[in-house]
Amino acid sequence: MSSKLKKVGIPVAIIAVAIAVAAGMIAGREPPEKTVQENKAFLVDTTAVYKQDLNFVVNSQGTVLPKYETTLSSQVSGKIMSLSPNFIEGGMFKKGDVLLMLEQDDYLTALKTAEAELARAKAAYEEEEARGKVAAEEWKSVKNSVAPELGLRKPQLAKEKANVLAAEAQLELAKRNLARTEIRAPYDGMVKSKLVDVGHFVTTGSQLGVIYGTEVAEVRLPLSDNDLAYLELPSAEGEASVVLSAKVAGQQMQWSGKLVRNEGVVDQQSRVIYAVVEVPDPYARNASSNHLPLKFGRFVKAEIQGNHAEDMVVLPRSVLRLDGSVLVVDTERKLRIREVQVQKADEKFVYIQSGLEQGELVTTSAVPNPVDGMAVRLPTDDDSGDENEPVATATAMAGDAQ
């Protein structure tokens, strides 16, 4: 009986001692130090307001085209005897160069015939003129009165003079037809397409090829009504400057042009009006040209110099909110929702005309659910702040501002 009590009593005693020790340790432990949790204001990035004078730039795009495009055609008929070596696709030529030559034999014969007819008509005229003089002398010797016109052979002389004029006209026509057997270039240019070859017989009006003028290139730029608000379309006072750009062989190239006119009609489908930019000597054929060739058919982007504006504030496009306001941080580090008047906005920047003062701080950070008077802080306000603490960026703001 005593052995059983010993087996039960020892474990109970151990548990009791453990409970007593634990109770003593708990009773002697100091309470944990209480710390006050600091709620920091929302951290934002800002940019200072800076007013400046600027010229608006309107962006557009278009395709380079020749100002002059001509379909060559024959004014006379005949067989093509020769072609210029430059009368091939892409061949360059100068104004006055002979591009094609037709067979001339028939036209040389016609020229000789016209020359002979003119000589015969002149001889007949001179003969009739002499007869008139003889008739006048005979009339004076026979009768002492005024001779009638028929007696002086004036009608016959007028007829022979008309024959001379007709023969001269035929000679001029023969010369023109002979000259038309040589198809000459009307301007400096290049061959777009060749439609005939040596040995082909062409008739009057037959198409021979298509040529482009290389003296001036044009680019048609579509402009919306909003774009027109920032442009002075060409007038007597001058022409707007335009910078054209394109990537050529992996490199970004630029060319200068002038906005010379607008087409004056709003496109019924796209509701835009087309302005025309001219680029002189696009293929850099003149020695004075210092740019790379701007080839026809190339697609280019255009930056058009627009109107002048004063005291404008230029900010990232992301700062503008949907309701047309921006977030401003005042001197007390309070967030203020400010209504502004926007003059222009594009995909990168917003141009603010009024509503902001010089030196004010505009928030470029994305602030979720902003409230007027909300406390904020700047990175410069907390030098010991956590470097790993995330700061909203202007890029993040873009989604909220759109």
Model confidence pLDDT, tens digit, residues 212-241: 999 999 999 999 888 887 877 665 445 788
Q: What is the mean pLDDT of residues 334-352?
A: 87
Name the helix (H) or strand (E) containing 363: strand 361-363
Q: How far apart are CA 345 and CA 347, in angstroms?
A: 7
Q: Is 179 left (phi over 0), alpha (psi -120 to 50) or beta?
A: alpha
Q: What is the mean pLDDT of residues 59-86?
A: 94
Q: What is the mean pLDDT of residues 144-173?
A: 79
Give the pLDDT score at 209: 95
Give the pLDDT score at 353: 87
Tell me phi and psi for residue 154, to 5 degrees.
Answer: -70, -40
Query: Which residues, 6+ apart, have CB-to-CB distance to 393 below 8 Å?
Result: 45, 364, 365, 366
Give the pLDDT score at 5: 54
Q: What count of other Cβ atoms lies within 10 Å of the Cβ of residue 152?
A: 19
Answer yes or no: is pLDDT of 393 > 80.
Answer: no
Q: What is the mean pLDDT of residues 155-163?
A: 84
Give the pLDDT score at 394: 36
Q: What is the mean pLDDT of residues 158-179?
A: 92
Q: In the structure encoding, which two tokens stand for residue 307, read together?
A: 């109107």
Give the pLDDT score at 390: 41
Task: For residue 248, give the nearest of 301, 311, 285 by alpha carbon.
Answer: 301
Task: For residue 297, give the nearest of 281, 280, 282 by alpha carbon.
Answer: 282
Q: How far apart are CA 276 and CA 304, in angstroms?
A: 11
Number of helical (H) and strand (E) elements in the chain, helices listed first: 5, 22
Q: What is the mean pLDDT of residues 309-328?
A: 88
Band (376; pLDDT cuts 50, 70, 90)? confident
Q: How far apart are CA 9 and CA 11, in angstroms?
A: 6
CA–centroid distance for 67 within its chain: 14
Band (190; pLDDT cuts 50, 70, 90)? very high
Burial tier of 65 (Cβ tally within 10 Å: 0-12, 13-18, 19+): middle
Band (244; pLDDT cuts 50, 70, 90)? very high
* Degrees, nearest 5: CA angle 77-80-81: 130
Give the pLDDT score at 38: 61
299 vs 366, higher pLDDT: 299
Band (3; pLDDT cuts 50, 70, 90)? low
